[in-house]
């Protein structure tokens, strides 16, 4: 349950940072949050991953619903996904998750002197 | 130690961030690109629907507010209070839809692609600059600035583009910037000049001089002139034979002494681009309405984003609609209340090569006209992504740049080494003035005056007015040459071989209101040999021109729709002539060959998309040319040679059945014409079976031809439209080939009341954004051979159910 609350905090912060700052600010922010809240090291990567995955997939979905276009299927060919839009969403989530997870883990680890 | 351990994940995180923010070879920066707050997800645009939307945008530098209304195709109709605001808005709005393309194309033209793609762009960049593209643009820019209207247009256009660039945050960048990971730089007026000069590169940089000299050296002048005649066997020239000449020719310079040159050796063979165009205008006595109708379809490399961008530009003194070229002000092909005009390319020889004799390895001096003369040098610096800058020196003689020194390897096989380039694209010029004045032209006199400012690339300017005039000027700056001067490489030491001035513009071939009731051009010979000046020896094959002229001669009660039909005409006039000749030579075919011959015999001679006959015929032409000429004319790839034209081959089949060329010199036996025809039929059927399996629907012409509209980034298939079901072909009026085709089709009917009606389409869409519904929404209409009605508005408040969006640009 605690992990979930952490993840929700990260999602909210990630969205705010994403709107106003460069894309990588999200990672730095997650690291800071993990450091400040002294997140448990063991679950830190997963907490961050979950937050990043959800944030990026939901935001991408939201944009796609707001602006339906052929862009996702084109991008799913630019990247070798055979035009599979579902795979493109998953890839988006995995990239967001990986990036967030590592930063959250790094923040948490830094706290454990 | 402990600290190192706790910081270790941070190091990984930092490294990951760096890695995901960076391009790796062709892999884009995946973090930045996939982030839904910054990357490609933000580039999706939903199609407009429902009530028209209204918005206001602040743009610095405007004198007065500018009203812009967009129609359902995404065409902006721009209403400004003066020229300055009109061009500022044109720059701004074009950039809004096409910024990446504008910048990419001018980077290409200026030899700066390696700044974006790194080392692999260097050879192309160096070639562009060695050919003098930047030098030519600078010269041309000087000329443009001398005309106040052009200067205003260029500066305001530039300010408009920059206003748009200035308004863009990183996350709003066009998709391609995100994929290739760079940012737009400020636009400058010289970029417009670079773009225009690049049209000379596209249309007037073909050069066979080296290949012809190699032939001259191997076979001698008699054979070269016999197989590469200076006027085709069959032709229907642009200026009707017997048209009156209304000028007194100036004296023609004496021919320089015969020169055989060094020839040259090279590696990679290359294919000539299949580009050309059609245009025509029919007079009112042939039309239902009683007023002229004009049609134009320029054939260029089919690309996405499209080379054309439609606009209506309205300000005091002008209300013009047509296609613009992103990167330059004005409408290039279009119409206004009173007149319409269009262009096709002129295949005149405006590019020559002079063999240079340097004094020594320092290349400071060269021999010309009996003395040593100084070369000038131009230093070009190439910024290369991920590498150190490269500095390159270009040596110039008075002719022009020495494109490749004797020891260098040229970028293209038709470029000779150790030769200086004399090229019309290096002249100071004022093309913008021509388009500015055409946009505002009211009658034939205005059109005629506008053309006097035009240099290159030379175009067949077709014209029609609501006063009932139709006309065509073969127009551009043409060097005054002795006959055949520049067919072969020239002697750079001989002053008599220099260009001796230019043909007076008023003497350019032209025709107004001819008796036959129409004017037309399809890149064929400008005139018959009675024209007093020498323009060139080689033009596009005559088939399209002959077909258009034979149709227009018999068409009566012409409407816009019947001319749309002619633009889409797929009839194969070459097959009509050649097939009976080939059938007569076919001896004892096998089963597969008989089946192919049967398909050809029942073929209606139309290159329709589904036609199997068209595939067999077109491929047969290729294999016939290979079987007949490959032994003598491309034996050694280090000595590139031109190949006799199909026109010459047909003439040979008809009247020289025992010519020495029929024998395949690679075999000990002596082949007859019939043997070669059979050999080519075998090769034809074998390759088609190999490519598509046994003869059947898979042999459909469109499947074999594979017309595609490709994104400007090579290999970017995901952003391209491939395998489009369209008929036609290179020598067909509907000139759609694998990579080239009608890049814009326009049909305009003029009206006495100043209410012209027009239809048009191009294979692309108004938006350059692959995430927009307007990215490629016109391609299907184009492929079907249909046109869209073009909306010609009188005022921004005019009611129309086709309007979707209104933008006010205010200062």
Rounded mean pLDDT, B170-198: 94
ipTM: 0.97
Per-position DSSP letters for B506-575, written without gaps between them: GGS-EEES-TTSEEEESSS-SS-TTSSS---S--S-SHHHHHHHHHHHH--SB-HHHHHHHHT--B-HHH
Cβ contacts (< 8 Å) between B31 and chain A: which residues?
A: 23-24, 95, 99
Distance from CA of B778 to the nearest CA of A (A): 15
Nearest CA to B47 out of B766, B772, B767, B769 is that of B772
Note the residue count of chain A.
113
Structure tokens at B288: 């239902």
- Sheet with B419-423: strands ordered across: B419-423, B351-355, B490-491
Is the pLDDT at B269 greater than 50? The verdict is no
pLDDT of res. B406? 84
> How far is residue B439's CA from residue B447's CA, in Å, rounded to a whole number?
9
The model's confidence at residue B637, banded by pLDDT at 50, 70 and 90, is low
Structure tokens at B395: 């040596």
Please enumerate in sequence order all residues whose Cβ is within 8 A of that of B85, keeping only pairs 6 or more positions apart, or say none: B62, B63, B64, B66, B156, B315
> How far is residue B710's CA from residue B707's CA, in Å, rounded to a whole number?
10
Cβ contacts (< 8 Å) between B175 and chain A: which residues?
A: 71
Q: What is the mean pLDDT of chain A?
A: 93
Rounded mean pLDDT, B174-194: 95
Cβ contacts (< 8 Å) between A59 and chain B: which residues?
A: 36-37, 41
Nearest residue of chain B to residue A22 (CA atoms): B38
Report the sign of the C-alpha dihedral through residues B705, B707, B712, B713, in that order. Answer: negative
3-class SS string, B329-343: CCCCEEECCCEEEEE
Is the pLDDT at B284 greater than 70? The verdict is yes
CA geometry: angle B546, B703, B543, nearest 5 deg: 10
Nearest CA to B451 out of B429, B473, B468, B423 is that of B473
Strand-pair partners of B322: B311, B334
> How far is residue B734's CA from residue B761's CA, in Å, rounded to a whole number?
14
Nearest to B718 among A26, A77, A95 (CB): A77
Cβ contacts (< 8 Å) between A74 and chain B: which residues?
A: 718-719, 770-771
- Tens of pLDDT along A11-67? 999 999 999 999 999 999 999 999 999 888 889 999 999 999 999 999 999 999 999
Rounded mean pLDDT, B189-198: 92
Distance from CA of B297 to the nearest CA of A (A): 29
- Tens of pLDDT along B702-735? 999 999 999 999 889 999 999 999 999 999 999 9
The model's confidence at residue B257, banded by pLDDT at 50, 70 and 90, is confident
Rounded mean pLDDT, B351-370: 94
Is the pLDDT at B373 greater than 80? The verdict is yes
Please enumerate in sequence order all residues whose Cβ is within 8 A of that of B483, keeping only pairs 6 or more positions apart, or say none: B230, B252, B255, B534
Is the pLDDT at B635 greater than 70? The verdict is no
pLDDT of res. B264? 61
The model's confidence at residue B146, banded by pLDDT at 50, 70 and 90, is very high
Report the sign of the C-alpha dihedral through residues B521, B525, B526, B531, in that order. Answer: negative
The model's confidence at residue B417, banded by pLDDT at 50, 70 and 90, is confident
Is the pLDDT at B267 greater than 50? The verdict is no
Cβ contacts (< 8 Å) between B10 and chain A: which residues?
A: 31, 106, 109-110
> How far is residue B411's CA from residue B113's CA, in Å, rounded to a whole number?
15
B9–A105 C-beta distance less than 8 A: yes
pLDDT of res. B272? 46
Is the pLDDT at B638 greater than 80? The verdict is no
**Paired sense of beta strands B788-789 and B757-761, if any:** antiparallel
CA geometry: angle B760, B312, B782, nearest 5 deg: 20
Angle between helices A85-111 and A71-78 (to 10 degrees): 70
Q: How many CA atoms lie within 13 A of B44 on its CB side?
A: 21
Q: How many CA atoms lie within 13 A of B446 on its CB side?
A: 19
- pLDDT > 70 fraction of chain B, expressed in percent and rounded: 98
Distance from CA of A2 to the nearest CA of B (A): 23
Q: Does residue B638 contact residue B265 with C-beta atoms inside 8 Å? A: yes
Structure tokens at B187: 């636009």
Cβ contacts (< 8 Å) between B179 and chain A: which residues?
A: 78
Residue B544 falls in which region: left (phi positive, over 0), alpha (psi -120 to 50) or beta: alpha
Helix (H, G, I), strand (E, B) or coil at B405: coil
Is the pLDDT at B271 greater than 90? The verdict is no
Residue B760 backbone phi and psi in degrees, to 5? -165, 165
Distance from CA of B38 to the nearest CA of A (A): 6
- A positions 22-81 inside 8 Å of B (CB): 22-24, 26-27, 31, 56, 59-60, 62-64, 66-72, 74-75, 77-78
CA geometry: angle B553, B559, B562, nearest 5 deg: 65
Chain Cα centroid distance, residue B729: 16
Per-position DSSP letters for B582-621, written without gaps between them: HHTT--S--HHHHHHHHHHHT--SB--TT-HHHHHHHHHH
> How far is residue B603's CA from residue B113's CA, in Å, rounded to a whole number?
47
CA dist B584 → B405, B577, B673 (Å)? 51, 12, 11
Q: Does residue B76 contact residue B745 with C-beta atoms inside 8 Å? A: no
B10–A71 C-beta distance less than 8 A: no
> How far is residue B131's CA from residue B205's CA, in Å, rounded to a whole number?
10
Q: When comparing pLDDT for B169 and B49, which is higher?
A: B169
pLDDT of res. B237? 95
Nearest residue of chain B to residue A18 (CA atoms): B37
Best of B3, B8, B37 to disrupt the A interface (most A CBs within 10 Å) is B37
Nearest to A109 among B6, B40, B43 (CB): B6
Structure tokens at B525: 């010979």
Strand-pair partners of B318: B315
> How far is residue A95's CA from residue A78's CA, in Å, rounded to a whole number?
16
pLDDT of res. B600? 98
> How far is residue B32's CA from residue B36's CA, in Å, rounded to a whole number?
9
Q: Does residue B305 contact residue B712 with C-beta atoms inside 8 Å? A: yes
- B positions 771-800 inside 8 Å of A (CB): 771-773, 775
> How far is residue B791's CA from residue B799's CA, in Å, rounded to a whole number?
11
B771–A71 C-beta distance less than 8 A: yes
Nearest residue of chain A to residue B720 (CA atoms): A74
pLDDT of res. B416? 87
Q: Does residue B383 contact residue B185 with C-beta atoms inside 8 Å? A: no
Beta strands per DSSP E along B316-451? 318-324, 333-335, 339-345, 351-355, 365-368, 371-374, 376-382, 390-396, 419-423
- Tens of pLDDT along B448-465? 999 999 999 999 999 999
**pTM of the entire structure?**
0.94
Residue position matching structure tokens 């149709």? B551
Report the sign of the C-alpha dihedral through residues B666, B670, B673, B677, in that order. Answer: negative
Is the pLDDT at B224 greater than 70? The verdict is yes
Cβ contacts (< 8 Å) between A106 and chain B: which residues?
A: 9-10, 12-13
B21–A110 C-beta distance less than 8 A: no
Distance from CA of A25 to the nearest CA of B (A): 10
Nearest to B35 among A23, A78, A106 (CB): A23
Residue B498 backbone phi and psi in degrees, to 5? -65, 160
Is the link from the previous residue into B457 a cis peptide, with omega within 30 of 0? yes
Q: How many CA atoms lie within 13 A of A40 on its CB side?
A: 11
The model's confidence at residue B412, banded by pLDDT at 50, 70 and 90, is confident
Rounded mean pLDDT, B660-672: 94
Is the pLDDT at B560 greater than 70? The verdict is yes
CA dist B519 → B234, B288, B295, B353, B562 (Å)? 19, 18, 11, 34, 16
Cβ contacts (< 8 Å) between A95 and chain B: which residues?
A: 20, 30-31, 34
């Amino acid at each position: 349950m605690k992990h979930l609350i952490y993840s929700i905090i990260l999602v909210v912060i990630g969205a705010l940072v994403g709107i106003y700052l460069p894309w990588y600010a999200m990672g730095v922010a997650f690291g800071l949050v993990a450091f400040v809240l002294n997140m448990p090291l063991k679950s830190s990567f997963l907490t961050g991953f979950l937050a990043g995955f959800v944030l990026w997939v939901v935001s991408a979905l939201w944009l796609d619903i707001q602006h339906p276009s052929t862009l996702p299927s084109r991008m799913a060919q630019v990247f070798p996904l055979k035009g599979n839009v579902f795979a493109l969403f998953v890839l988006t989530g995995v990239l967001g998750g990986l990036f967030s997870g590592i930063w959250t883990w790094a923040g948490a680890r830094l706290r454990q002197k | 130690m402990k600290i190192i351990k706790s910081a270790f994940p941070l190091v990984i995180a930092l490294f990951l961030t760096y890695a995901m923010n960076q391009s790796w070879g062709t892999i884009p920066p995946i973090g930045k690109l996939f982030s839904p707050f910054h990357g490609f997800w933000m580039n999706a645009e939903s199609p407009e629907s429902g009530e028209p939307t209204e918005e206001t945008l602040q743009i610095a530098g405007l004198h007065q507010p500018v009203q812009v209304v967009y129609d359902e195709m995404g065409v902006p109709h721009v209403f400004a209070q003066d020229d300055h605001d009109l061009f500022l808005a044109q720059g701004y709005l074009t950039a809004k839809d096409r910024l990446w393309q504008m910048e990419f194309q001018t980077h290409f033209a200026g030899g700066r692609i390696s700044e974006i793609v790194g080392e692999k762009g260097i050879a192309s960049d160096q070639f562009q600059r060695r050919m003098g593209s930047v030098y030519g643009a600078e010269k041309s820019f000087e000329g443009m600035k001398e005309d106040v209207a052009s200067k205003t247009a260029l500066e305001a256009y530039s300010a408009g583009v920059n206003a748009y660039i200035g308004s863009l945050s990183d996350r709003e960048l066009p998709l391609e910037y995100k994929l290739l990971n760079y940012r737009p730089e400020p636009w400058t007026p010289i970029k417009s000049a670079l773009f225009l000069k690049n049209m000379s590169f596209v249309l007037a940089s073909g050069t066979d001089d080296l290949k012809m000299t190699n032939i001259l050296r191997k076979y001698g002048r008699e054979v070269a002139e016999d197989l590469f005649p200076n006027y085709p066997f069959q032709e229907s020239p642009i200026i009707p034979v017997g048209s009156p000449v209304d000028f007194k020719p100036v004296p023609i310079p004496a021919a320089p002494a015969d020169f055989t040159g060094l020839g040259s050796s090279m590696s990679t063979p290359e294919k000539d681009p299949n580009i050309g165009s059609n245009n025509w205008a029919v007079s009112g006595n042939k039309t239902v309405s009683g007023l002229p109708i004009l049609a134009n379809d320029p054939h260029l490399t089919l690309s996405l984003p499209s080379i054309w961008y439609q606009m209506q530009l309205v300000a005091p003194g002008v209300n013009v609609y047509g296609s613009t070229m992103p990167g330059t002000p004005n409408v290039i092909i279009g119409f206004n209340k009173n007149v319409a005009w269009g262009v096709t390319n002129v295949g005149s020889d405006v590019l020559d090569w002079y063999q240079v004799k340097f004094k020594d390895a320092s290349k400071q001096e060269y021999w010309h006209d009996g003395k040593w003369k100084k070369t000038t040098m131009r230093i070009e610096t190439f910024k290369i992504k991920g590498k150190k800058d490269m500095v390159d020196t270009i040596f110039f003689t008075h002719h022009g740049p020495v494109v490749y020194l004797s020891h260098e390897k040229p970028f293209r096989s038709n470029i000779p080494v150790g030769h200086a380039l004399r090229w019309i694209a290096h002249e100071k010029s004022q093309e913008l003035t021509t388009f500015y004045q055409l946009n505002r032209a009211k009658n034939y006199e205005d059109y005629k005056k506008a053309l006097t400012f035009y240099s290159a690339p030379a175009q067949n300017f077709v014209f029609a007015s609501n006063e009932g005039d139709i006309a065509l000027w073969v127009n551009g700056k043409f060097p005054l040459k002795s006959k055949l001067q520049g067919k072969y490489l020239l002697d750079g030491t001989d002053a008599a071989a220099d260009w001796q001035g230019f043909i007076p513009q008023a003497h350019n071939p032209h025709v107004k209101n001819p008796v036959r009731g129409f004017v037309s051009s399809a890149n064929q010979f400008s005139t018959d040999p009675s024209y007093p000046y020498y323009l060139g020896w080689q033009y596009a094959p005559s088939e399209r021109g002959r077909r258009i002229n034979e149709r227009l001669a018999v068409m009566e009660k012409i409407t816009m729709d019947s001319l749309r039909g002619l633009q889409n005409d797929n009839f194969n006039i070459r097959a009509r002539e050649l097939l009976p000749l080939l059938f007569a030579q076919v001896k004892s075919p096998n089963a597969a060959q008989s089946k192919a011959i049967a398909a050809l015999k029942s073929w209606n001679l139309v290159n329709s998309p589904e036609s199997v006959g068209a595939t067999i015929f077109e491929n047969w032409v290729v294999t016939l040319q290979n079987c007949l000429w490959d032994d003598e004319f491309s034996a050694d790839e280090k000595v590139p040679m031109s190949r006799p034209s199909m026109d010459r081959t047909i003439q040979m089949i008809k009247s020289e059945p025992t010519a020495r060329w029929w024998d395949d010199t690679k075999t000990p036996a002596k082949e007859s014409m019939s043997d070669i025809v059979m050999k080519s039929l075998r090769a034809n059927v074998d390759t088609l079976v190999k490519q598509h399996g046994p003869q059947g629907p898979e042999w459909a012409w469109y499947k074999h031809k594979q017309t595609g509209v490709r994104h400007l980034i090579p290999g970017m298939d995901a952003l391209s439209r491939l395998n489009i079901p369209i008929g036609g072909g290179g020598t067909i009026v509907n000139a759609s080939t694998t990579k080239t085709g009608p890049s814009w089709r326009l049909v305009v009917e003029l009206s006495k009341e100043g209410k012209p009606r027009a239809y048009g389409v191009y294979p692309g869409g108004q938006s350059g954004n692959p995430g927009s519904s307007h990215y490629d929404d016109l391609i299907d209409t184009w492929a079907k051979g249909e046109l869209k009605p073009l909306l010609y508005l009188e005022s921004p408040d005019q009611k129309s159910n086709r309007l979707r969006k209104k933008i006010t640009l205010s200062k």
